[in-house]
């Protein structure tokens, strides 16, 4: 049987803090190690034919973490944006189109400006769409979509009784992209944690005890191999 590559993979990057604790390191060092794995897995996914990949980088709930940890994460995002700018031509050759999904309110203004620049600079790439979810929450995403639709109802563009599931899909952050076939969560946790709630209605899930900084290309291959052994019926027989 031919190995099928999922069109869209979602990844909850979890376990950075525990990885650092096991090594008696600050949590920030775990996040740095996790960032390196993000780059590696992102590039490998493009090489093997994944069309869309969404990384859960910072949730709306993560603001509750200690201020020094939040600041360290914001600085990591700045470092990523610096690297993206330096590797702009290389990323273009690899066909990586970058999207930052999530709520912009509360995110430092310098980051928002650079999100927009990175998105603009990579918009012509066409091999793999990379979604980086920052200040993201699945419920908030649905609320934002409903607000957009409500404005259309208010403006007379659509009747309430004509609203469909497709209207919701057309107004979420990943509009125009395929829903995730496979969602991966390392670190031994077995929950979505408010990630891609609308999009994951028929996703397959793959859980592992591997902490994110230890996640390798071979682990992604294992998840895809397990995905190929699933019988996806989508409610049918």
DSSP result, 198-213: TTTTT-EEEE-S--GG
pLDDT band at 1 (very low <50, low <70, confident <90, very high): low
3-state helix, strand, coil in the chain (%, to 5): 50, 15, 35
Annotation says 229 is catalytic: no
Residue, of 21 and 93, whose pLDDT is higher: 21
Contact at 8 Å (CB) between 111 and 144? no
The 3-class SS string of 154-169 reads HCCCCCHHHCCHHHHH
| Length of the chain as a residue count | 237
pLDDT band at 210 (very low <50, low <70, confident <90, very high): very high
**Rounded average pLDDT over 149-162:** 96
- Active-site annotation holder among 16, 62, 91, 159: 62
Annotation says 228 is catalytic: no
Q: Which tokens go with 169?
A: 């899909």
Full-prediction pTM beyond 0.85? yes
End-to-end CA separation in angstroms for the chain = 21
pLDDT tens digits for 88-98?
A: 888 888 899 99
Neighbours of 148 (CB within 10 A): 15
Rg (CA), the chain: 18
- Backbone CA torsion sign across 173, 77, 61, 217: positive
- Active-site annotation holder among 14, 129, 179, 181: 14
Per-residue confidence (pLDDT) for residue 231, from 0 to 100:
81
pLDDT tens digits for 34-84?
A: 999 999 999 999 999 999 999 999 999 999 999 999 999 999 999 999 988
Residue 190 pLDDT > 60: yes
Q: How far is CA 84 from CA 92, 96, 118, 170, in A?
A: 10, 10, 7, 28
Residue 118 pLDDT > 70: yes
> Which residue ranges form the domains of the chain, and what is each CATH number?
8-228 (3.40.1180.10)
| Packing angle of the helix pair 27-48, 217-228 (nearest 10 deg) | 50
């Amino acid at each position: 049987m031919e190995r099928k590559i999922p069109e869209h993979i979602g990844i909850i990057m979890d376990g950075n803090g525990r990885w650092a604790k096991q090594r008696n390191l600050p949590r920030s060092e775990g996040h740095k190690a996790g960032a390196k794995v993000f780059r590696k897995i992102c590039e490998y996914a493009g090489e093997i034919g994944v069309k869309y990949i969404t990384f859960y980088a910072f949730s709306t709930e993560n603001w509750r973490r200690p201020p020094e940890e939040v600041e360290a994460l914001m600085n990591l995002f700045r470092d990523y944006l610096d690297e993206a700018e330096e590797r702009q031509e290389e990323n273009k050759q690899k066909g990586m189109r970058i999207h930052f999904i999530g709520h912009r309110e509360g995110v430092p203004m310098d980051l928002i400006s650079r999100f927009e620049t990175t998105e603009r600079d990579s918009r012509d790439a066409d091999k793999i769409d990379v979604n980086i979810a920052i200040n993201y929450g699945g419920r908030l995403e649905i609320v934002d979509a409903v607000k957009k639709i409500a404005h259309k109802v208010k403006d007379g563009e659509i009747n309430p009784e004509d609203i469909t599931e497709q209207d919701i899909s057309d107004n979420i952050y990943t509009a125009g992209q395929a829903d995730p076939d496979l969602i991966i969560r390392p670190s031994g946790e077995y929950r979505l944690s408010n990630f891609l709630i609308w999009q994951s209605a028929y996703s397959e899930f793959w859980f592992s005890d591997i902490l994110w900084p230890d996640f390798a290309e071979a682990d992604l291959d294992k998840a895809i191999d397990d995905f190929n052994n699933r019988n996806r019926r989508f409610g049918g027989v």
